[in-house]
């Protein structure tokens, strides 16, 4: 199995990527979504408002309606409240609850690196979620990795090389779970910074 990951500035783009992965035959059990709750678009479903939290989030995922029907709330240090579902969310919740192997920051970085994501990329993705983004991660057979990556890229994903460069220009080096999560106003400012202009 190989892990493919995409960061999205807008929750709607991430939701579209999840739906496209599921439509392509990637099982819901092999897809995860972690979205900064403050970064969700007004009018999005409130799915998961009363769903399981913490390490029990994995139990909220296995329904027949696909991954997005199993969203639950949890908190990740430095990221704040997130809406999440899937295997990565359950792993991050367990890590955040005290099962962090090797002291990985905030649970999310540990969950990502454990799944095969490089530590540098894990820090970038955690920072992206802290700033209002949404992370979609899928476990796929090696033979389907290119297809899954293309689905993520075709859903208006964030180019990690460009985003790392932009963050570095702002003085960022690594994810710091002691920093406060971005407030809604900061998230909107961040999105406007990167929003593509349509001519």
pLDDT one-digit tens code per residue, 83-135? 778 878 766 655 544 443 433 345 788 889 988 999 999 999 999 999 999 99
8 A C-beta contact, residue 66 and residue 27:
no
pTM for the predicted model, two decimal places: 0.77
Phi then psi for 154, rounded to 5 degrees?
A: -80, 0
Give the model confidence (pLDDT) of 147-181 as tens digits: 999 999 998 999 999 999 999 999 999 999 888 88
The answer, yes or no, to whether residue 194 has pLDDT greater than 90, is no
Q: Which pLDDT belongs to residue 8?
A: 96
Helix (H) or strand (E) holding 85: strand 80-85
Locate the domains of the chain by residue range: 2-194
In angstroms, the CA 19 to CA 28 distance is 9
Confidence category of residue 71, pLDDT binned at 50, 70, 90: low
């Amino acid at each position: 199995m190989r892990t493919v990951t995409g960061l999205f500035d807008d929750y709607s783009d991430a939701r579209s990527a999840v739906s496209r992965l599921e439509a392509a035959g990637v099982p819901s059990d092999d897809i995860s979504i972690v979205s900064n709750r403050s970064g969700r678009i007004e009018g999005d479903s409130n799915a998961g408002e009363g769903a399981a939290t913490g390490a029990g989030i994995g139990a909220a995922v296995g329904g027949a309606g696909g991954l997005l029907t199993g969203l639950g709330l949890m908190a990740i240090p430095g990221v704040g409240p997130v809406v999440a579902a899937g295997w990565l969310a359950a792993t991050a919740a367990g890590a955040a609850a005290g099962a962090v192997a090797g002291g990985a920051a905030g649970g999310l970085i540990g969950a990502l690196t454990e799944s095969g994501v490089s530590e540098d990329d894990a820090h970038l993705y955690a920072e992206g979620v802290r700033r209002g983004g949404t992370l979609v991660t899928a476990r796929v057979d090696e033979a389907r990795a290119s297809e899954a990556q293309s689905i993520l890229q075709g859903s208006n994903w964030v180019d990690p090389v460009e985003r790392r460069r932009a963050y570095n220009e702002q003085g960022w080096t690594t994810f710091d779970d002691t920093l406060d999560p971005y407030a809604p106003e900061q998230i909107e400012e961040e999105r406007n910074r990167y929003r593509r202009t349509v001519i």
